[in-house]
Structure 1
């Protein structure tokens, strides 16, 4: 029993150290080029010993990749949860765009990491990209959207979202961020085949609460 209790404490300590390193990686990604960050800076930011780093990660690249993967998965899971009650696939897509484009205001850490990762964020094998493909295909299957190659569609829509996030980080005025996010969603709905008036109406609907 004593050995089991000791093992559990060690496991919890390891988990806390790993979580602290990932959190430090996320924070550093918001302000620094990963290539310029040393492992000493990472462990200092995490408030753990230098040697602890290699108990969890083989390199700083692995740490930053893990931090990005965590953000990608959190982002996708959040959108799934927030849009779960919406019945119209077009509104699901629009709400996801509007919420994501508001990240400079609502989730500034995520917004900065998304901007740093850039287009690679749109092709990650887990998290947002597969969910976006799923939602777009469903909307097409039920006749709400019209598009050709889904990967090209993701590139077009995702590139526009990245651009609006960049604008929001440059000019972090809340009302301007909201306006840009809603206008972006309406424009993308038109690109996907919805009439202009309907696209504008969907992009102006009340957003489901996030978190």
Structure 2
């Protein structure tokens, strides 16, 4: 699975209608709704969109015939195996009717061209882990975590004897990282692994 590195825009004219696609990374459903609102033009004839976050997705034809705009935009995203992405394709009608097939090609094609122009980055599956370390081991634990790519420390709470660290670890490396921390602290660190 991939997501976009940054927002990408592409414009094209198809049979006198102007289409502008804006695609960008999103973090969740509320971010998707904000993206659609921010990149829709109320002066345009249609602002059609689609977004996907994991197994959750939505699309909208915004007044175009059913299935001719939002779904082709979503299909363009799915063909590139994109996740955490929203796309808005805005159309200004140019006076020439495109028909259902023409609309599907125009919306899906504009979205696909925009997505192909964007820089894709791999999505790394992560798991939340809780790490309890004594003050004497804390610097070592944090140094080991910092030396591993794709580790994100969410929070660090201090206790009387040390700290509780909540971290996001790459799912494929959870067991390996846990073993590394256990070995480095001679078993003194307590790691609560996620279920599953």
What is the TM-score when the length of structure 1 is the normalising length? 0.29
Larger fraction in strand: 2
Which has more radius of gyration? 2
What is the TM-score when the length of structure 2 is the normalising length? 0.31
